[in-house]
């Protein structure tokens, strides 16, 4: 259950940043060198993100997706 909630939170954060930056899923896909269908699956499903993928998305968006507690 916690995994699903965390995935949903990350997906919501990606979607929010895309909207704030007036970017489309296509824009994100292009910045990452990915197929648009891959990004669409991330947004519409519950992907099993790797840390590398999360880092790449963060760099492409110019925003952190996850903040670590101290």
Mean pLDDT by 10 residues, the chain (70 residues): 85 95 96 94 86 95 88
Residue 67 forms part of a structural domain: no
Q: What is the CATH number of the domain that holds 40?
A: 1.10.260.40
CB contact burial 36-64 (16+ within 10 A = b; e otherwise): eeebeebeeeeeebeeebeebbbebbeee
Confidence (pTM): 0.86
Residue 66 forms part of a structural domain: no
Residue 8 forms part of a structural domain: yes
Q: Which of 69, 65, 62 is nearest to 31 (CA)?
A: 62
Q: Report how far apart, in Å, the C-alpha atoms of 32 and of each of 1, 53, 61, 66, 69 are.
A: 29, 10, 9, 18, 27
**Quick one: pLDDT at residue 58?**
97
């Amino acid at each position: 259950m916690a995994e699903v909630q965390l995935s949903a939170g990350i997906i919501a954060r990606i979607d929010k940043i895309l909207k704030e930056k007036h970017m489309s899923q296509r824009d994100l896909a292009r910045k990452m060198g990915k197929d648009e269908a891959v990004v669409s699956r991330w947004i519409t499903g519950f992907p099993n993100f790797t840390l590398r993928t999360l880092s790449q998305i963060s760099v492409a968006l110019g925003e952190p997706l996850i903040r670590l507690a101290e």
